[in-house]
A and B are shown apart, each in its own frame.
Chain A
Amino acid sequence: MSRYFLIAVVSIVLIVIQTTVVSLISLEGITPDVLAIWVVYLALREGQMRGTVIGFAVGLVFDLATGSFIGLSALTKTICGFMAGYFYDENKTKLILGSYRFLLIMMMSSFVHNVLYFILFTRGTEIGLLGAVFQFGFTTTLYTSALALIPLFVYSRTSGA
């Protein structure tokens, strides 16, 4: 029970960080997605089912916090959690989370998340499909993956993986 409480608390803290601190390190309007990193991490640690549910919950709270397009982050983060959870292996959790595999899974899940998000979000604007995929989806994935190196290094050092 306490573990779920801790996950909820950390999720809320990260949502606050995402909506406040992270915009301070935006580059040309592109910001890393701390929440996607958290969802991928949990999916690899807790399994596909929990990763999917946590992705949905985190995305929904974020949608409510930012005030528009409620349901879009919930939808894309659900898929992100589901995708990352596909690589969950009970016996190799430490190995996956503390190695380059985490980064690869992160990049893949984040890319699918971002591409889907921006394609849906930019409908009705002048941003075309290619713009949504490359200008926003790809760059956000790169920035997010770069930031994911921090938890990767921290985890590999502390867990002894």
Chain B
Amino acid sequence: MQRLYTIIRLFKEYVVLTLLLLISIVLLSLNDNRQLHAVRSYTVAFLGVFQDAISVFPNIFELKRENQLLRQLNVSLSDEVSRLRASRLENMRLRGLLGMKEQSRLPLVAADVIGKSMYLLRNTITLDIGEANGVKPDMPIISESGLVGKVVAVSSHYAIGQILLNKDFRASAKVLRNSIDGIVGWNGGDLIRLRNIAKKQDVREGDLVVTSDYSNIFPRNIKIGTISRITERPGSLMKEVDVTPAVEFATLEQVFVVLTTPGAERTALEQKSSGGN
């Protein structure tokens, strides 16, 4: 025993290193643990206060680019608004002819982006709303341009959102033109990738990608982005379809959280079904 103690004392730095590395690895394997979520919400609340105070300062390198983008966005939005007005009138007339009801609007709550953690590829945003505003984990986040991401952690007055350009983000999507389904996820760069698209399927550059009806989290037909690159590799049955996100994350300042949570009954049934397979 004395000898063991001597050895530990002699190599105490290595013993501590091994111990801490083991704890880190255990934590990595416990990422979806409920207790960890609770601890995380306290940290979000604590840091949210500071991020809120600092959010008034812009990124000096992004300011010029942001101005330019906002001007472009303004022009295209004005154009889109006039077209949408005409479409809405036509839609109302046609719905009236078919006797269909007006589609229900999404319950939205506006939020300011008070922090962006683009550090070490974490790619999350902090919002200035939380549980007190009805926000819960897994609620979708959108902006006027399209899908931003989803809420992953909440405290009373703050929430952390996982954006499209996050390693863990996935969403059911479809090509709007012909309803070809796939799953979007980050490709590691500035683009997202539409996966599960077979070579024989008709997708083209410029096609609009939106959220599909199959998603349990995201409302359907929210714009995700536009197909900007299609690569076909020999020996693969699938195409590599890269999508440019509709949202410019570098200049994102205001978003909306959709106050809908995944249907518990549907989630339970799907989990049960996938577990049984």
Residues of A within 8 A of B (CB): 15-16, 18-27, 29, 31, 33, 48-49, 52-53, 56, 59-61, 63-75, 78-79, 82, 85, 117-118, 121-122, 124-127, 131, 136, 140
* B: interface residue count bin: 35 or more
B118 touches A31 (CB 8 A): yes
**Interface assignment of B167: CB less than 8 Å from any CB of chain A:** yes
Q: Which residue of B lies closest to A121 (CB)?
A: B121
| Contacts A16-B50, A78-B17, A126-B189; A23 near B118 (Cβ below 8 A) | yes
Q: List 5 A-B contacts (CB under 8 A).
A: A20-B54, A52-B16, A56-B23, A65-B44, A78-B24
Contact residues in B for A122 (Cβ distance below 8 Å): 121, 167, 188
The closest CB in chain A to the CB of B116 belongs to A23
Q: Is the CB of B59 within 8 A of A24?
A: yes
Contact A75 B24, CB 8 Å, known A26-B59, A68-B122: yes
Residue in chain A with minimal CB distance to B54: A20
Contact present for A67 and B153 (CB under 8 Å):
yes
Q: How far is the CA of A136 from the CA of B151 in the complex (A)?
A: 26
Q: Which residues of B contact A20 (CB under 8 A)?
A: 47, 50-51, 54-55, 115
B120 CB contact (under 8 Å) in A49, A74, A140: A140
Closest residue of chain A to B14, judged by CB? A82
Q: Are B188 and A68 in contact (CB under 8 A)?
A: no
Closest to B33 in A: A70
Distance from A61 Cβ to chain B, minimum over Cβ atoms (Å): 7
* A72 CA / B59 CA spacing, docked (Å): 27
Cα A27 to Cα B250 in complex, Å, equals: 11
A53–B12 Cα distance when bound, in Å, is: 12
Closest CB-CB distance, B224 to chain A, in whole Å? 17
A-B interface pairs (CB < 8 A), number: 152
Q: Given known contacts A23-B59, A23-B118, A118-B121, is B25 in contact with A71 (CB within 8 Å)?
A: yes
**Beta-carbon contact of B50 and A125 below 8 Å:** no
Give B186-202 as 1s and 0s: 1 = Cβ < 8 Å from A's Cβ atoms: 11110001000000000
A87 to B186, CA, bound (A): 39
- What's the nearest-Cβ distance from chain A to residue B142, in Å? 19
Contact partner of B118 among A29, A85, A131, CB < 8 A?
Answer: A29
CA of A20 to CA of B117, assembled, Å: 8
Q: Does B7 count as interface, using CB distance less than 8 angstroms?
A: no
Q: Which residues of A contact B115 (CB under 8 A)?
A: 19-20, 23
Given A68-B122, A70-B36, A85-B13, A78-B20 contact (CB < 8 Å): yes
Q: A16-B50, A24-B59, A74-B24 are in contact. List 10 more A-B contacts (CB 8 A).
A: A20-B47, A52-B16, A53-B16, A64-B36, A67-B160, A68-B152, A70-B31, A71-B30, A74-B27, A125-B187
